Amino acid sequence: MSLNYVLIVNSAINSQGAYSAWQFANELVKQQHNINQIFFYQQGISNTNALMSPASDEVNVVALWQAFSRDTNVPLISCVAASLRRGVVDESLAKEQHLPNHNLATGFRLGGLGEFVTASAMADRLVQF
């Protein structure tokens, strides 16, 4: 039986939680479950920053999420309010806020908590990392 999931990633990019979320998402897809969205919030916003540059002996979690997005078309949503507070913006928000640059990684988009709540209400399972 296929279930509908929503994942919320609160864990920073350099934590085990962020990598575990990616592994879990891949396993869900492998087992043919549906993922309505993956929502990045609080310290999890660091997973959406295009300027993250891990050391050569570390896993590039941003690149893993980007590949996951390309392969699955699962929406990767970065909370707009939490992103702005942590200096992660897309081109549109950068212009609106009169910022010189944007740094939301390709494959992610900004969205609000309302979108997360709606997706969660339609899911069978909500899993937090």
- Please choose, from the candidates 94, 76, 75, the residue with its C-alpha nearest in 3D space to the C-alpha of residue 84: 94
The amino acid at 33: H
Which residues on neighbouring strands pair with residue 103, listed in sequence order?
A: none
**Residue 58 vs residues 15, 22, 33, 54: alpha-carbon distances, Å:** 11, 15, 29, 6
**CA-to-CA distance for 116 and 36, rounded, in angstroms?**
10
Is residue 79 within 8 Å of residue 113, measured between CB atoms? yes
Say how many Å lie between the first and final Cα of the chain, rounded. 24
CATH top-level class for 4-128?
Answer: alpha beta
Per-residue pLDDT of the chain (129 residues; tens, 9 = 90+): 899 999 999 999 999 999 999 999 999 999 999 999 999 999 999 999 999 999 999 999 999 999 999 999 999 999 999 999 999 999 999 999 999 999 999 999 999 999 999 999 999 999 999
* Per-residue pLDDT, 1: 87
**CA-to-CA distance for 62 and 102, rounded, in angstroms?**
16
* Per-residue pLDDT, 97: 95
Catalytic residue IDs = 79
* Per-residue pLDDT, 124: 98
* Per-residue pLDDT, 70: 96
Is residue 79 within 8 Å of residue 40, measured between CB atoms? yes
- Please choose, from the candidates 47, 36, 35, the residue with its C-alpha nearest in 3D space to the C-alpha of residue 9: 47
